[in-house]
Amino acid sequence: MLTQQQLLAMSDDDYMNPQQLQFFKALLMQNKLEIESQLQTTREEMGSYVREADELDQALLEEENRQRLRMADRQTKLLRKIVSTINRLDEGDYGYCKVSGEAIGLQRLLLRPTADLCAEEKARQETREHHYAKVR
């Protein structure tokens, strides 16, 4: 298995070779397992909900559960994105921008393994979103 340093030391001609694909698949699978474990823990914590007699304690528990639900929602969305990314990897589309077809780059993929847009296209998308938010 490659290390990050070995991965980054490879030439641009080796982009998304079988070793790199294996590295990112292992990374994505590890992320998937971690999130699934965190979601299971959250489910167990919420399942052990006990009604408190004290109103203040009850309010605190409800706020904690609200925060757990919010975090679980974010993790569920990330889990879906990871599964989608693993599917793209299996189909041979991983590592390339879904808009321009350009290479996303190893540095960006190491920081965000689920990235599906190159940095330039992501910047354009964010600019459009920012402009749209100002117009509204």
What domains are there in the chain, each with its CATH number?
A: 4-135 (1.20.120.910)
Dihedral angle of Cα 40, 41, 43, 47, to the nearest 10 degrees: 140
Confidence of residue 135 (pLDDT cuts 50, 70, 90): low
Per-residue pLDDT tens digits for 76-119? 999 999 999 999 999 999 999 999 999 999 999 999 999 999 99
Tell me the whole-structure pTM to 2 decimals.
0.84
Cβ 93 vs Cβ 115: under 8 Å: no
Q: What are the contacts of 121-130 at 24+ separation with CB within 8 A?
A: 121/97
Cβ 7 vs Cβ 26: under 8 Å: no
Confidence of residue 22 (pLDDT cuts 50, 70, 90): very high
3-state SS class at 20: helix
Task: Identify which has the larger pLDDT, 51 or 14.
Answer: 14
Mean pLDDT value of segment 118-123: 92
Of residues 125, 120, 41, 26, the one with CA closest to residue 82 = 26
Structure letter (DSSP) for residue 128: H
